[in-house]
Amino acid sequence: MINTKVYAILEYMSKLEQNKFQKFVLSPYFNKSEELVSLANALLGHINSGSKKDMDKELLWKQLVPKKPYDDVRFRKFCSDLLKLAEDFFVLEMLESNPLHKATYLMEAVGKKKMQRLFNSSMRSARRYSDQQQHQSADYFYFQYNIEKNYYNLTDSDSKRTEKTNIEDIILNLDYFYLAEKLRLLCSVISRQSIVSHEYKLLFKDEIIQYISQHNFEQIPAIAIYYQVYLTQTNAEQEEHYFRLKKYLKEYSLLFPQTEANEMYSFAMNYCIRSFNKGKKQFLQELFDIYVDLLDKEIIFSEEGELSPWHFKNIILTALELGHYDWSENFVISFKDQLPEEFRRNAVTYNLGQIYFYKKEYQKVIEQLRNVEYEDLAYNLDSKTMLIFTYYELDEIDPLYSLFESFRVYLNRHKDIAPQRRKRYLNLIRFTKKLTKVRPGDRKSLEKIQAELETTDGTVGQKWLREKLAELNG
């Protein structure tokens, strides 16, 4: 049972949703089957028990239909019907969560039924909810379009050909929706094409870009932002597009749902990372500024108020690279409780170790990392890498060589590490070992190591290795 669709969909429900769903199933308007009530209660009970043991179908059947022998076809029908009820429940929950949806559908129903006495009240409700709408993504204009279209139908505008109608508003909102959504998807396609080579057929792409370039859409943030994203992707050398995008994000990002705002910022962050990798060092500060803006506006947090451990790590690394050591420590203290509980210990321990490393407080690094075995593979690899750096900096050769061996065993034992990734860490061990054996000032040996490092395909810690080579070279 635990592998069935109906069990899986019930597992996604929160405790509050479970309680509401049980009431939903009890409603005779939606369900008249007592067997489905029993099945829902049994499955939810098993989910909440935390048991990993599968449920026996025939025992379940006895709870549903105690006086009849097991009928697999009918049992599958019960499961299918309960799945349909769960799907209907989620649809209604989505409808309840958005009053504008409800008002729009009410207008449509009033129009179809020609309920003239409800025309004005349904229209007022729709406009009121529209005015209260905080977000102005492409969907906002889609609902504005629907409101105006329903108003047009309610007032029987087709038959009043000599009167001024709202048809211009209908078309304008439809155009805004189309332009904003088309741009959003176009930016997504361009981003994907940098990873996967695939030709997408996009109608009117050139015509849309040309039209937007010739008109000012700053009053429509969804269009203005995605147009600047498009320009940063296609005219990356012209930095003014990025700075205009940054300006728009600062001014308008709170007008968008959190998920979409995060996506918008990710385009700006990717531009900063690409620019930094091309040698434009000032864009590391730009990346940091974006992180600060995301934190200040709380856009970076999930709906549950949690901060991704990967964002946590990248924010700290960016701050450390800029020399913001005190800021980084304060950040860990301020935001550690907003990390997901299952990642919290790993993330805090590792990132504090990284802060100490940048501050050259190497003994603290060892105290922080030496006796910690991380559950997450990436943290384990990064932690062992940092310990290699630290033992080398302290000239602790015996612990360093011991770590070389244990790390090598770890890399070879864990088959879930991709071969190319394993090779990059083995290269780090190999080159660090070479550094321990070369004499300072031995230019010939150092140049040989340098040349080998530059021609080796992939090595973890290349920046650090180059710094150590430069130090040995005097």
> CA-to-CA distance for 337 and 294, rounded, in angstroms?
18
Least confident of 47-61, 182-196, 255-269: 182-196
pLDDT 10s digits, 80-125: 999 999 999 999 999 888 887 888 888 888 888 888 788 788 878 8
Q: What is the DSSP string of 255-301?
A: GS-HHHHHHHHHHHHHHHHHHHHTT-THHHHHHHHHHHHHHHHTTTS
Whether the predicted pLDDT of 183 surpasses 60:
yes
H or E segment to which residue 21 belongs: helix 15-26
Find out whether 320 and 355 touch, Cβ atoms under 8 Å. Answer: yes
Express the helix, strand and coil content of the chain in percent, nearest 5 each. 75, 0, 25
pLDDT 10s digits, 213-270: 999 999 999 999 999 999 999 999 999 999 999 999 999 999 999 999 999 999 999 9
323-343: average pLDDT: 95
pLDDT 10s digits, 302-330: 988 999 999 999 999 999 999 999 999 99
Q: What is the pLDDT of residue 158?
A: 47
Report residue 364 as tokens.
């603290």
268-294: average pLDDT: 96
Whether the predicted pLDDT of 347 surpasses 80:
yes
Q: What is the pLDDT of residue 107?
A: 82
> CA-to-CA distance for 262 and 250, rounded, in angstroms?
13
CA distances from 42 to 79, 82, 218, 397 (A): 12, 12, 55, 61
